[in-house]
Chains A and B, each alone.
Chain A
Amino acid sequence: MKFGVVTFPGSNCDHDLIYAMRENLGQEVVHLWHKDHDLQGCDFIFLPGGFSYGDYLRSGAIARFSPIMDEVIAHANKGGYVMGICNGFQMLTEAGLLDGALLHNASTRFICKNVHIVPASRSALITQNLEHKAYKVPIAHGEGNYFCTPDVLKKLQDNDQVIFRYCDENGRITDAANPNGSLDNIAGVCNVGKNVFGLMPHPERAADEMLANMDGRKLLAQLV
């Protein structure tokens, strides 16, 4: 699989992601620029974390109209893989490729810390072969409070579209383990086709031995 990582003005996790996929997982990765109209033959497109366009208006709202997004949306609609992490997740909801929206954290605070997440979906590429346990992965966001209407939530649950939920270190899904007020402790979802993923935590920040936490690498390794 050939991976592409798109840099938007204000992206700041693009190089972490390129490093994780290329150096930690030995994959072919190309660096894509948001103004291009060419995915360079990539099979899997990443929209990285950061603060695209300064988070102006709403997080991810303006990046959703960057030139390359025409090709990213077309790629996703043809069944191609796309994954948004943090700000990339926000872009995918703004683009309508994923259901729901990411509201301000219930605490109103920007949260930067390690949290635990547990795989949920039994049919999505990123979770289907993961051991069912708590993975320690950092979050760093001000708007990660996942929201959708009750109808959409039911659809997500019925179609096995929730990929990760926030949990405690023992894998228990509790209110106390929910860092940002997300509905149903949702940390990530995918689309009905199971080819578009969105995740608030940053697996690319926990993928190198030097960082003393390799749980994120286990998540990214599912995509390879």
Chain B
Amino acid sequence: MKYKATIHIMPRDEILDPQGKATLLGLHNLGLDDIGQVRIGKRIEVEVEAKDKQAAEDKVKEACTKLLANTIIEKFEFELN
């Protein structure tokens, strides 16, 4: 079976996100003063061949922990379809 995983990677809450902070400044300069916080992460889409959903989940989790996310500084979650 072919599955599609949509992975969301975000900087951990305790990590300063200078990219988000700079972007927030831009939003405020735009006049959008009600926006209080911006955090920027990334979305990764992968296709995975696996015998069932559990096996696909295991493979995506391995991909995330070993390469796609650095769990010291990032957290991840994903949906499988």
Which residues of A line the B interface, CB within 8 A? 57-58, 61-62, 65, 93-94, 100-101, 103-108, 147-149, 181
30 contacts between A and B (CB under 8 A): A57-B67, A57-B68, A58-B70, A61-B67, A61-B70, A62-B67, A65-B67, A93-B72, A100-B72, A101-B70, A101-B72, A101-B73, A103-B15, A103-B16, A103-B73, A104-B18, A104-B19, A105-B18, A106-B16, A106-B18, A107-B18, A108-B19, A108-B21, A147-B15, A147-B72, A147-B73, A148-B72, A149-B72, A181-B16, A181-B18
- Residues from chain B with Cβ under 8 Å of A93 in the complex: 72
- Residues from chain B with Cβ under 8 Å of A149 in the complex: 72
Number of A-B contacts (CB under 8 A): 33
- Residues from chain B with Cβ under 8 Å of A106 in the complex: 16, 18
- Residues from chain A with Cβ under 8 Å of B72 in the complex: 93, 100-101, 147-149
Residues of B in contact (CB 8 Å), total 11
- Interfacial residues of chain B within 15-37, with CB under 8 A of chain A in the complex: 15-16, 18-19, 21-22
A212 to chain B, nearest CB (A): 33
Secondary structure of the B side of the interface? helix
B45 to chain A, nearest CB (A): 14
Contact B67 A108 (CB under 8 A): no
B32 to chain A, nearest CB (A): 20
B8 to chain A, nearest CB (A): 15
Instruction: Give Cα distance in the complex from A61 to B15, angstroms.
Output: 19
- Residues from chain A with Cβ under 8 Å of B18 in the complex: 104-108, 181
Contact with A along B65-79 (1 / 0, CB 8 A): 001101011000000
- Residues from chain B with Cβ under 8 Å of A57 in the complex: 67-68
Instruction: Give Cα distance in the complex from A107 to B67, angstroms.
Output: 26
Instruction: Give Cα distance in the complex from A186 to B58, angstroms.
Output: 36
- Minimum CB distance partner of A152 in chain B: B72
- Residues from chain A with Cβ under 8 Å of B70 in the complex: 58, 61, 94, 101
> 16 new A-B pairs (CB below 8 Å) besides A57-B68, A101-B73, A105-B18?
A58-B70, A61-B67, A61-B70, A65-B67, A94-B70, A100-B72, A101-B70, A103-B16, A106-B18, A107-B18, A108-B18, A108-B22, A147-B73, A149-B72, A181-B16, A181-B18
